[in-house]
Chain A
């Protein structure tokens, strides 16, 4: 956990005071809704279809049990008893009243949680691997760098009114769980030939109307230089990014229009003039941030305890264990994913009761620490393997032990037309229907790893471009239609999926997905050839034939 200090809490308090004043001015009519808009956005407040929505940042996806209980409290007291975890390590409350917002944000601030810069044209919540600090083979804990970036970007006086929103993600593993290639800036911590730790910096990734995979702008930036280098990128973007057309305003378009080489030269020139300034990091600063991350006191435990051996005799436990528990860097411990994708449920939602129960279980079995991943699931990063059977019973009792992590029913979906004012089509009911079709665990297991991502409009909050199967809601003559792509992926081999054919109506989507999956089962070479690998080998044609034959 990162331990907030007086600086962090003072700033949050000052921010809440300012926001309270802004809401007061709005309520008194001193500010019009239009004037209020950019102020509320910078505090994570949207005006949605039915109500104001509050988006709360979970920096680098790390939450304490205390913070989780506060989220439950806010859900219960100010909302309708639940919250929605998003693909960007945020949580959204959908039904908050404007007049309650200052109190809700003050309650959250009391435990170091806030909605600052979860919206608006500024640097958004910095995200990372939900397994940071516990994944085997990590170069460093990427959260240290995400925290430095969080501080650097919070209320940045120069970059709070960028041409468009700006997202940064950090990974420190070979296997990228942070989707850094689809971010405005992606950072990959690694060691260079000389064994020195630094960052590969990628720029210009992003989804939306014009999807781009990020390009490497500099293969190695030393740690002392990372903030100055990012400042240089932002300064070039702030001045030259397009502001005439909202759809062309992201940095990916500037990079594309200038070309990565020219863009890189502009950044380099800028960087050379600031690299030795006050923003250069020294070891003392890095060490100070590092020292404020507290790690569990791990015990020396056996990796295969009796409790686990016995429990594995139960096929239900075994299915969950195989699916939801991953290797931890410390022997005797596991990383546990909590599926927020129950069959027939809205992806990523959790009720206040679930949040409280999860906080209690985290205290009991997981050192009080909880993570949120971009797949809209939660995670206990450190659980002693001997405690897994007991934890499983606790998770199962509250409905977050569905053994479908990374399987076909582990669907990423944005709020879509059920909540979002920009949506063309519903996303949640599509996800719910697909999970019903694949409710049988053995079938899902047979299919293997398959990520379905659904967005309710071209803004792509559900990351449909990089779903193994991507589903995008569009509007045709006032009706909901869906475009289907296949072959996308968000990891280190990130690629945008290919459209398989014309959009299909709402009632057909689940059928098309079933057809695609059946085609895959027929076409794969071996049971362990993953869906995306089959698509890569064969292209979209054979899938297209199947999907439209029956359609």
Chain B
């Protein structure tokens, strides 16, 4: 599955560790939530980057204490139609102040890119190669947004007060 970052398809540096596999001493790794919580203090003490895969039915606030030591949080879209991770993403970015990599995984298709970018995701494990290739184009499909979110763009209702010409630039993470 291609990984998109900054609008480009890139190699994934993270190695996924299954529930009972040994923890490597170094190298970026991504572990499931249960595993992470079981050994959290040990894992975040490693010298390399640690990421966690957080399921969409688990309270994201539980991650709060570890966020400044986590390099990556991967949220899950088990189905295109299941939108719980959008809320988790906004809470992570906007309330818990998480600044690390926020990755969308699962059923990630082009028709969600804009929503995901706006919710705070910045990397994407895209389901279809063809969708990954057009990421940059699709991400810039919209230039008007009606809601304020953590991506910092000013919504239409505020921009109107300043006039149409002041529309904000393209989405963060959309790439060129």
Contact = CB atoms under 8 A, between A and B. Distances in A.
B118 A14 contact: no
Given A39-B111, A148-B157, A159 B95 contact: no
B117 to A, nearest CB: 8
A14 B86 CA distance: 22
B161 A285 contact: yes
Contacts of B81: 38, 121, 161
Q: DSSP class of B's interface residues: helix, strand, loop or mixed?
A: helix
Given A7-B164, A148-B157, A285-B161, A38 B141 contact: no
Given A7-B156, A152-B146, A157-B118, A238 B87 contact: yes
A67 interface: no
A422 interface: no
B172 interface: no
Interface in B137-162: 141-149, 155-161
Nearest to A237: B87
A151 B155 CA distance: 10
Q: DSSP class of A's interface residues: helix, strand, loop or mixed?
A: helix
A524 interface: no
Contacts of B88: 239
A152 B144 contact: no
Contact of B119 (A38, A148, A158): A158
A27 interface: no
A30 interface: yes
B114 A277 contact: no
Contacts of B111: 18, 22, 39
A6 B161 contact: no
Interface residues of B, number: 38
B148 A278 contact: yes
Contacts of A38: 80-81
B144 A14 contact: yes
A257 B114 CA distance: 34
B142 A155 contact: yes
A305 to B, nearest CB: 41
A159 B146 CA distance: 13
B147 A279 contact: yes
A238 B144 contact: no
Contact of A11 (B119, B142, B149): B142
Contacts of A522: none
Contacts of B117: 157
Interface in B102-133: 109, 111, 114-119, 130
B141 A160 contact: no
B5 interface: no
The 8 closest A-B pairs by CB, nearest first: A161-B83, A278-B148, A157-B118, A11-B144, A157-B115, A7-B156, A151-B146, A158-B86
Interface of B: 80-84, 86-88, 90-91, 94-95, 109, 111, 114-119, 130, 141-149, 155-161, 164
15 contacts: A6-B164, A7-B164, A11-B146, A18-B141, A35-B109, A121-B83, A148-B157, A154-B146, A157-B86, A157-B147, A162-B83, A273-B95, A277-B148, A279-B148, A285-B158
